[in-house]
Structure 1
Amino acid sequence: MAQSLLFTVKRHAPEFVKPSKTTPHTIKLLSDIDDQDGLRFQIPLIQFYRYDPNMKGKDPVDVIRKALSKTLVFYYPFAGRLREGPCRKLMVDCNDEGVLFIEADADVRLEQFGDALQPPFPCLNELLFDVPGSSEVLNTPLLLIQVTRLKCGGFIFALRLNHAISDAAGLTQFMSALGEISLGMKAPSIAPVWKRELLNARDPPRVTCFHREYEQIPNTKGTIIPLDDMAHRSFFFGPTELAAIRALLPHHQQQHSNFEILTACLWRCRTIALHPDTDEEVRIICIGDMRSKFNPPLPNGYYGNVIAFPVAVTTAGKLIENPLGYALELVKKAKADITQEYMHSVADLMVIKNRPHFTVARSFLVSDVSRLKVRDVDFGWGKAVYGGPAKGGVGAIPGIASFYIAFKNAKGEEGLVIPVCLPNKAMERFVKELDNVLKNNINQPTMVDQKSSFIKASL
């Protein structure tokens, strides 16, 4: 993608879109999973849509604005404002103040973005404008949406969500509803369900599991990512790249999932690139949607946060010196530890410990959003060319998070695109390390480049 692409965006004044009908004015408590410190931030998403001659004469701004007003009748908490009560408890004041909406036009065609639309996007701040005063967690709009028309007739739909109110699955449910109503449906096919009390702490709260993800680790060596020297890059992993990484493993470990193998590889490469002391503890946090863990199941349509932060911990020395399979087993065990009881234990911990942030010192956080089918959201112009997170490194503590995003490259290969955020010098080392892994195993699978610490340690 051409990162040097420059274009001008002309924005209309931001407006508030409110529900098209009267909705309940009430206070709705978030769950004790929703309001933990690590989810109190804004998360950006972006969708690119091509021109469709069948929609000639239709204005995407007008279509989406009207559909949004109708969708907010069903998702009326999104039109409210977040308040904080005693003991840092978050709640939604459902007051119909509305969501922020921006109409815009850009003097650029979709094809000028290049063959491979992927983060980081040029001029993202113009495509998703941060309205002054709107990005705080409390007392501000829970949603900001910008629809930008392109010269070719296509458009860009960009959205920013207060993460405390919904996770990626909940946001996708809302966007699908918005798409359905844009297409003329009177109501969403999946009715939204609040019921946040299902993920509240027990009475009395009791922590029954071991939660290393919430350990309060002092950053004594200054190894939280510096935010003033950051490089943002994306990396594509298709069948060829995944096979190259899988080839580094002994036969009995090659059957593990793409997520587990790729996460182990990236964690290792990233740790090597950051040059930590060998005795420093390093962590991988694998964010997971835990809806499938509940029995009885959570109600269909529940759009709150149902995510956990399972963590694997080791020293930098062990991670780098051991074969790739060592990291893989740590990732696999962290994921396996998460159960319904674990989620209830987290809710109890939040209440007992005053809603702490997950550990960020020397942590790498990954979130697989590839199965959410965000690209399938259709406002009338077909599926998105690209749909997903607008950038990596987002979060209450920026710089440590990467997303696994479903993606089709210029060759038509389906795979994953993963945005990574690192200090500039570390990014250079990360790229070199990853290139050594992929090139040596794609082109010469039986050869080993002794200059690569990754390859040497993985034999």
Structure 2
Amino acid sequence: MSAVVSKSSPVVVAGQSEPATPASIINLSSFDNCFVPFPTAALLLFDQPVDDTIETIKKALSHALVHYHPMAGRLATGADGELHIACTGEGASFVAASATCSLDELATTSPLLLRDLTLRYPGEYCGLSDALLLIQVTEFSCGGFAVGVTWNHLIADGVGMAQFLQAIGELARGMPAPSVVPVRFEGSLPCLPQPMVTWLRSQMRIETDEMASLDVTISSSLISRVKAECGDCTTFEAVAAMLWRCRTRATMSDSEAPALLVFLSNVREVVGAKDGFYGNCLTMQFVQATSSTVAKSDIKDLVKLIRLAKEKIPDLYKNVGSSDEQQQVPPSYNILTISSWRNLGFDAVDFESGKPARVMWQGEKTVALFCYLCPPCKGKYGLNVISLCVKPEHADAFLGELAALDI
């Protein structure tokens, strides 16, 4: 008999002591407005139980929403037609669930069961009446549990959501308040020019083609070897270069067509954001070459291109006008977007039984062709890559290219 996940009906969890006052308004920053209201989901798997897991996390969530009250609000449209956050206190959507398998059995069950561990919005984008935050806690037969969090990207980026989940964990462990004071409105952030915001938003589109869902591990030995060959090279640069070349080789149909690598970077330090800021503070950086160049290059040469792009990030806020590079966008399937969740803080979340055994990105359709770099599973070494970046007919070739690197 196959494993199943049984879910309770959703309930609304609001802040424990939110005052019944007229809703305050939080304007979205230009960094927020670089995104469209699309859902993002993270799944944290814990192999050790918590006493009364569901009620403990539910209560801690309610407490956390007092400190993170915008999370309990809704999107609204102002008189000027612009979106903002209305702090209505309506709350987050919460579902309790149970699975008939153990965590160890997840790897051998249907991928559909893994999808059942997070909640989804009814549409491809988040509507004005939708909760900004959906949380599901699933208990497994072994005593372990999963916390799936789905959120409207306009409310927070990955750093912000990891901070919020860490706060829930601290409150679940009995702390009177989160150790980090949350900041949602950040008036000191630079205001990005409207042409730049508009252009970046135009790149946020739901993929209509079916993409293969892949979950692979890049071994620590391969990463170490590539880093040694490249000299002074970060893990991100090494893995991004490997993925870029392998995907280009697997999908290339025109050697002279552009192959664009896009990577997301947290720029809180660059722009001087306040400690505890949990709104969006990301930039997208681009590295472009022809498909043949990417396919034939040594990994170390691609690392150099990626490093040069990273070094230019501080300059984005000195010369932020529209440019020819922004206007020359190749077809979507020629673009690979990489987001690293290695250092965001998801792997530091602790609800009282220790840190997660695994952190995963969850997605079906996405606004770009993504590879998410996640921390390795507990007890393993390397880097977990979860992706929707190739069509099914290119999946075997992509995996074959990755395997060839590790010989």
TM-score, length basis structure 1: 0.78
* 1:261 aligned to which of 219, 238, 242: 238
Match of 1:190 in 2: 180
Question: Quick one: which amino acid aligns to residue 46 of structure 1?
Answer: L
Question: Quick one: which amino acid aligns to residue 415 of structure 1?
Answer: G
Matches within 5 A, 1:310-459: 310-339=285-314, 342-343=316-317, 361=332, 362-391=334-363, 395-397=366-368, 400-408=369-377, 412-421=379-388, 422-439=390-407
Structure 1 residues 185-226: Cα deviation after superposition (integer angstroms, max 9, x where no partner): 121111111223333527xx588xx99x85979x9xxxx966
1:80 has 2:80 as partner: no
Q: Which moved more, 1:268-277 or 1:87-96?
A: 87-96
Measure, in 2, the Cα distance between the counterparts of 1:132 and 1:19. 24
Structure 1 residues 369-394: Cα deviation after superposition (integer angstroms, max 9, x where no partner): 11123122111222111124235x76
Match of 1:233 in 2: 214
Match of 2:83 in 1: 90
Measure, in 2, the Cα distance between the counterparts of 1:227 and 1:186. 48
Measure, in 1, the Cα distance between the counterparts of 2:282 and 2:117. 28
Match of 2:131 in 1: 141
Structure 1 runs (4+) greater than 3 angstroms displaced: 84-88, 131-135, 213-217, 243-247, 343-346
Specify whether residues 311 and 131 from structure 1 end up closer, same or farther in structure 2 by C-alpha distance, changes over 3 A only: closer
Q: Which moved more, 1:167-176 or 1:85-94?
A: 85-94
SS in 2 for 1:13: coil
Cα offset for 1:148? 1.1
Q: List runs of 5+ in structure 1 lacking aligned partners.
A: 350-355, 440-459
Cα offset for 1:154? 1.8
Q: What is the aligned-residue identity percentage?
A: 27
1:65 has 2:58 as partner: yes
1:11 has 2:7 as partner: yes
Measure, in 1, the Cα distance between the counterparts of 2:82 and 2:190. 11
1:49 has 2:46 as partner: yes
Structure 1 residues 415-449: Cα deviation after superposition (integer angstroms, max 9, x where no partner): 2101122111211111122222221xxxxxxxxxx
- Contact 2:5-2:113 at 8 Å conserved across structures: no
Measure, in 1, the Cα distance between the counterparts of 2:7 and 2:348. 27
Question: Quick one: which amino acid aligns to residue 80 of structure 1?
Answer: G
Specify whether residues 51 and 322 from structure 1 end up closer, same or farther in structure 2 by C-alpha distance, changes over 3 A only: closer
Match of 1:443 in 2: none
Measure, in 1, the Cα distance between the counterparts of 2:393 and 2:2. 26
Cα offset for 1:68? 0.8
How many residue pairs get matched?
397
Cα offset for 1:133? 6.1
SS in 1 for 2:259: strand
Cα offset for 1:396? 2.6
Question: Quick one: which amino acid aligns to residue 87 of structure 2?
Answer: C
Measure, in 2, the Cα distance between the counterparts of 1:289 and 1:279. 32
Cα offset for 1:114? 4.4
Specify whether residues 133 and 402 from structure 1 end up closer, same or farther in structure 2 by C-alpha distance, changes over 3 A only: closer
Cα offset for 1:232? 1.3
1:101 has 2:99 as partner: no
SS in 1 for 2:245: helix
- Contact 1:225-1:423 at 8 Å conserved across structures: no
Cα offset for 1:158? 0.6
Question: Quick one: which amino acid aligns to residue 11 of structure 1?
Answer: K
Structure 1 residues 158-208: Cα deviation after superposition (integer angstroms, max 9, x where no partner): 110111111111111100110011111121111111223333527xx588x
- Contact 1:245-1:438 at 8 Å conserved across structures: no
- Contact 1:41-1:137 at 8 Å conserved across structures: no
TM-score, length basis structure 2: 0.88
Specify whether residues 216 and 326 from structure 1 end up closer, same or farther in structure 2 by C-alpha distance, changes over 3 A only: farther
Specify whether residues 121 and 322 from structure 1 end up closer, same or farther in structure 2 by C-alpha distance, changes over 3 A only: same
